[in-house]
Amino acid sequence: MVVKKMFVLLVLIILISLSAQAEQAPSIKGVYSKLPWPEYKFDGKTVEVIEFLSFYCHSCYSFERSIPIIKGNFPKKINWKVIPIYWGEGSSKPGEAYLLAEELGKGEEMKKAIFNAHFVERKDIGNIEVLESIGRQLGLGKDFGHRLRAGDMADKARKALEMARMYRVDETPTVIIAGNIMTNPHPFNHNIDAFRENVLMIINSILRPSR
């Protein structure tokens, strides 16, 4: 009798656990891959989006125009975090400049300025003098340049690369939504408009599962 009660209790625990998991991970629409780690996370109010980008990446530059549209569809419901990385012969310095500016409250402004310097003005964004000039334009002061030259954010830039490897990121931009839902423009032949719509679909299915 005791064994039977224990068996019933165990079954109930399993069913409750499965039910909780079902609530935490709704049927998500869109094109994505589900990472085995970390776990899916959504507090019912705000979705975390991690964007891995490279300042040398044209698709990342193009995707910049889509971000306000995505955020605008879900006011105050998206926590968007940028992780700058670099590939091959690219320099870590643009990412370090962004991380410094973010710490000083001007991350978005620095991100746009670095992209503009590289893709519009055709400047060498790996050149510290170019980045210092951007810093001055943004009013970041001499300390910004000193810290950039000293490599204050070099370790953080290295850890960003390690984080990208942990998430199995193999191209940019890549976004990780709600902990373990990963998508990038590759399935859409790098059509950024199609990629934007896919990100919108994924986030919408998390925030508004009944719609």
* Whether domain 31-85+171-211 has CATH 3.40.30.10: yes
Q: What pTM value is reported for the model?
A: 0.86
Contact (Cβ atoms closer than 8 angstroms) between residue 124 and residue 51: no
- CB burial of 74-101 (b: ≥16 within 10 Å; e: otherwise) equals beeebeeebbbbbeeebbbbbbbbbbbb
Residue 8 has pLDDT above 50, yes or no: no
The CA–CA distances, whole Å, from 70 to 3, 81, 184 equal: 54, 14, 15
Contact (Cβ atoms closer than 8 angstroms) between residue 32 and residue 183: yes
Residue 151: which residues within 8 A CB-CB, separation 6 or more? 96
> Could you report the per-residue pLDDT of 128-147, keeping only the tens digit for each?
999 999 999 999 989 999 99
How does the average pLDDT of the chain come out, rounded? 90
User: Which residue ranges make up each domain of the chain?
Assistant: 31-85+171-211, 90-168
Contact (Cβ atoms closer than 8 angstroms) between residue 118 and residue 56: yes
* Stretch (H or E) spanning 48: strand 47-53
The dihedral through the CA atoms of 99, 133, 59, 63 has a sign that is positive
> Could you report the per-residue pLDDT of 42-95, keeping only the tens digit for each?
999 999 999 999 999 999 999 999 999 999 999 999 999 999 999 888 899 999
**What's the burial of 8, exposed, middle or buried (CB within 10 Å: 0-12/13-18/19+)?**
exposed
Both structure tokens of 127: 């050149």
Mean pLDDT score, 27-44: 94
